[in-house]
Amino acid sequence: MSSLNKKTINFVKIAISMGQNYYPEIMHEMYIIRCPLIFRAAYKMFKPFINEKTRNKIHIRGGSFEEMFEKIDKANVPKIIGGTCECDCPGGCNMSDEGPWKYFPGDEFAER
């Protein structure tokens, strides 16, 4: 942890602040799974700087993350991490470009 200097810590504080102050409702919940111990330790260090409402949406998990499937359908999670999705594209789910941008190719958002 000593490799995190003051400049890095200040940058992370600013990034967290911007996310929670300007984009508070974009994220419903975030699951960070199979994360190494060093990441969990670093998160504990930055956790106090995150707004409580945002902090409650973030779930850091090591090898056990089955509770994630109570909120996310297994069909939307790649098979390699416990889901059932096997995208029919080069590289599988990890390289998929699936998303709402595929379903609104025109000017449905009146951007013109």
Query: pLDDT band at residue 85, thresholds of 50, 70 and 90?
Result: confident
Residue 3 belongs to what domain range? 1-72
The answer to whether residue 83 scores a pLDDT higher than 60 is: yes
Pairwise CA distance, residues 69 & 6, whole Å: 38
What's this model's pTM, rounded to 2 decimal places?
0.61
32 and 85, same domain (yes or no): no
Same domain, 8 and 32: yes
Question: Is 60 found in the same domain as 98?
Answer: no
Longest dimension (CA), the chain: 50
Contact 19, 54 (CB under 8 A): yes
Residue with tokens 């990890």: 94
- Do 64 and 81 belong to one domain? no
Q: Do residues 27 and 55 share a domain? A: yes
For residue range 4-48, what is the model confidence (pLDDT) as tens digits? 567 767 777 777 777 777 776 777 888 888 888 888 888 888 888
